[in-house]
Structure 1
Amino acid sequence: MAAKLPLRETVGMALHTLRTNRLRSLLTMLGIVIGNASVITLVGVGKGAQNLAEGQLNTLGANVLFVVPGNNDTRRQGIDSPKTLVLQDAEAIAEQVPSVRRVAPQITINAVVQAGSRSQSSSVSGITPDFLTVRRFEVAQGRFFNQRDLDSARNVAVVGPDLASKLQPVGSILGRNLRIRDQSFEVIGVLSPKGAVFGSNQDEIAYIPLTTMVSKLSGRDPTYGVSLSFISVEARDEASTGAAKFQITNLLRQRHRILRDDDFAVRSQKDALSIVGTITGGLTLMLAAIGAISLLVGGIGIMNIMLVSVSERTEEIGLRKAVGARSSDVLAQFLVESLVLASLGGVIGSALGLSAVTAVARFTPLPASIGADSVLITVGLSGSIGLIFGVLPARRAARLDPIAALRSL
């Protein structure tokens, strides 16, 4: 019985065959290269989207809560009950919830902001002085409005840096008058860059005193209370966030006399991060699955080319078996060829994918990234696909009858 061929010789013969047919080998690897590069790039971009969203949410602070209006179909007791979140709700939270340090009610409208001959469609938010501390904003130029501005309902405005640059491309916008819904506002401050939060660019917003918003811009009827867009709440510390959320929920349920579903929602940064993580995680998984389809197509390509190779190398296989090669030696050689093609394609594809991820992170705002474990898993998956799809051609080659093979000489 013939001795089993050493693994070193089997690998050497496989590599020699691949080198002899360089162009075919490169074309066979192409599907794996494209699939691997797609997986790495798509996973990196998905991770970047998650990093971007989490980075934006982290700027809010770990102890910040948001109270937002909810279900409008809630049944209530009494016609005088608040129909949505109102200013009195914010005042009650500040006065009656012990776990809360500051409360910043807010009304936001969309309006055209004009400065001379320039105009810009923007969000305009009516807020209180506590907004600056609760939301961790900083003033880059000028000042923020104070309690006196709020009590007097003064026509003053603080603008985000992007809005300031669009309305005043050259020089400082401080002291200029803005026109908002036929009202003139003096710009007293410009905020530091904040970026986007919840999909809204905070640097393109104009901020005015809440009392000014209610009396001169929003047109809201205060008969049953001034309705709010939402309420930002600062808990005493991160450990108090859970207690504050529970206390605020119970207080508003009592105030709104709710019988069934809440007509509001209290969201924390952790809630938002959890939602973002679920969405971006699902998106990343979907993108990875799309890339994995390319890997499967590449595996099918390897199988097809190897089957053609078996037909073309019938004489070679017959000669090897005639001089003593075992079926297992032929099987091993074809499996090694498939494994090398897939693994090498995986390495090349990973390198291309990493280059694409680096380019996205460098030239776009998306902080795309990919971990070494993901690269190793993808390369390992490529090798596994090579082995799996190489089994059929390898078994067909190993089962060839040497006599029948030699007849074709």
Structure 2
Amino acid sequence: MLRIIGSLTPSTGLEAEPPTGHYTAEPCNEVYHLFSPILPISPILPILPYPPHPHISKTMNFLESVKMASKTLVANKMRSSLTMLGIIIGNASVIATIGMGEGAQNFVGQQVESLGTNLLFIVPGSPKAQTRPVSPPQTLVLADAEAIASQVPSVKEVAPQITGMQRITYGNANQSTTVAGVTPEFLTVRSFDVAQGRFITDLDLRRNEQVVALGADVAETLFGNTDPIGQQIRIRNVSFSVIGVMQPKGATFGQNQDDVVLIPLTTMANRITGNSSPYGTRINFISVSVQNEESMNAAQFQIENLLRLRHQIIDEDDFTVRNQKDLQATMGAITGALTMLLAAIASISLFVGGIGIMNIMLVSVTERTKEIGLRKAIGASQQDILMQFVIEAVILSVAGGLVGIVVGVSGILLIGTLTPFDAGISTVAIALATGVSGATGLFFGVIPAKKAAQLDPIVALRGA
């Protein structure tokens, strides 16, 4: 309901009580024509003898602007909801993407650490040979592992290994799995634990014993609920006695560490693969446990020099040393870069949402031209109009941002149930997304707000 206090005629101006100030005749003529049907028969109202105020004061404070903007948005629920959709999708995408990235980084770290701690991996072939489709030559022998263990002071334990795919049979049950010839050090270097029975000993190696420790999945497949200890299985028609079952360890980089059969390295070389050579027993790779993380680089340098000396290498190395710490850092950098790339792509939705807010606000300015003109005619300043439209844009974007946070966090929780890694809920991402959404509304709301504030009240009242 409009309350007019002062004098209003077609030819005179309006003098209002403070603090609304003094107004010229022309806008008031327009107001008179708009409201003349509902005015009394006598158009003369008492004139309050207040002089013009020296400054045009605000007709609404900030809280009133917020209240008015909120009412306007609530009155157009469908339009407001569709306008917020771009901000909702953008915020949810950014939060979910960053959360997935953090979860992936943590997952990679856990995968690398599950191999063991402070490890170096030595494989045959030069670094260039590792990238070729053909298998690198077998240039490592058991004596290399023994030399590393005895001559590199920063090394804690060394675990040489021979691996290959073999068919395992027990009665009518059989499966193809990885058979690994290992030494007793494998248990601690690779962080395995025995669930039942015992592990391979030095005596088993010296005697070429035909004994086997089964991974958890292999034991389950072959024996089910039957106690496997003491049972006989066959590997390439060679009979082996089961002496132990390993604790479940899970998968690492897609390789199931529970789908493995462990036998003495000497037995593997002499009875299964025939890895003997004039230079000694050929091995597939060597896992080296270093005393501490600070010694990793020094140990790698010493091992490389020792193997170059043993292999009489002048030019290109015939082996490659991989550092677990470097591997983890590289994988973390890759996942981090992918996360930032995906977050940048997702943030495009915020930009699109901001453009949507600007478009709707421009339409709103056009639709509310007469309202703007009327408000300016009865005392609203350009700053008042500017504030209202900016506040409307900010409310749209912040509300959309808050809904986007809820959607993004819900998506992260859902992803955690569907993937092998737990996606993290980043408070930094939430705070950043909220701030960016508010800034988006402010930035894209200024242009429509300026257009509204600069409308000529006479033209606006005529509906031009």
Task: Check whether TM > 0.5.
Answer: yes
Root mean square deviation, CA, Å = 2.2
CA deviation vs aligned residue, 1:127-178 (integer Å, no higher than 9, x gap): 1111112222110011111112212222221121122222333333333333
Rate the CA distance shift 1:116–1:308 in 2: closer, same or farther, 3 A: farther
Q: Aligned equivalents of 1:314 and 1:249: distance in 2?
A: 79
2:194–2:246 CA contact under 8 A, matched in 1: yes
Alignment of 1:1-400 (within 5 A): 1-4=55-58, 5-71=60-126, 84-220=139-275, 222-362=277-417, 364-400=419-455
Q: Aligned equivalents of 1:114 and 1:384: distance in 2?
A: 66
Displacement of 1:234 after TM fit? 1.9
Q: Aligned equivalents of 1:175 and 1:44: distance in 2?
A: 48
Q: Aligned equivalents of 1:49 and 1:117: distance in 2?
A: 41
- SS at structure 2 position matched to 1:267: strand
Amino acid at match of 1:3: S
Q: Aligned equivalents of 1:33 and 1:187: distance in 2?
A: 59
- Answer 1 or 2: higher relative contact order, Cα 8 Å, separation at least 6: 1
Displacement of 1:204 after TM fit? 1.3
2:270–2:276 CA contact under 8 A, matched in 1: no
Higher Cα Rg: structure 1 or 2? 2
- SS at structure 2 position matched to 1:123: strand
1:62–1:270 CA contact under 8 A, matched in 2: no
Displacement of 1:86 after TM fit? 2.1
Rate the CA distance shift 1:70–1:282 in 2: closer, same or farther, 3 A: farther
Q: State the TM-score, normalized to the length of structure 2.
A: 0.81
Displacement of 1:253 after TM fit? 1.7
Amino acid at match of 1:281: G
Amino acid at match of 1:334: F
- SS at structure 2 position matched to 1:85: coil
2:127–2:320 CA contact under 8 A, matched in 1: no
Amino acid at match of 1:14: A
Displacement of 1:33 after TM fit? 1.2
Rate the CA distance shift 1:313–1:94 in 2: closer, same or farther, 3 A: same
Displacement of 1:66 after TM fit? 1.7
Greater shift after overlay, 116-125 or 98-107? 116-125
- SS at structure 2 position matched to 1:367: coil
CA deviation vs aligned residue, 1:17-44 (integer Å, no higher than 9, x gap): 1111122111211121122112111211
CA deviation vs aligned residue, 1:283-333 (integer Å, no higher than 9, x gap): 211221232122222222222222221221112112122222222222221
For structure 2, which runs of at least 5 residues remain unmatched after alignment?
1-54, 130-136
Aligned residue for 2:30? none
Q: Aligned equivalents of 1:210 and 1:398: distance in 2?
A: 84
1:56–1:195 CA contact under 8 A, matched in 2: no
Amino acid at match of 2:283: L
Greater shift after overlay, 270-279 or 107-116? 107-116
* Percentage of identical aligned residues: 53
2:138–2:283 CA contact under 8 A, matched in 1: no
Displacement of 1:83 after TM fit? 5.6
Q: Aligned equivalents of 2:373 and 2:57: distance in 1?
A: 17
Rate the CA distance shift 1:302–1:182 in 2: closer, same or farther, 3 A: farther
Q: State the TM-score, normalized to the length of structure 1.
A: 0.91
2:161–2:180 CA contact under 8 A, matched in 1: yes
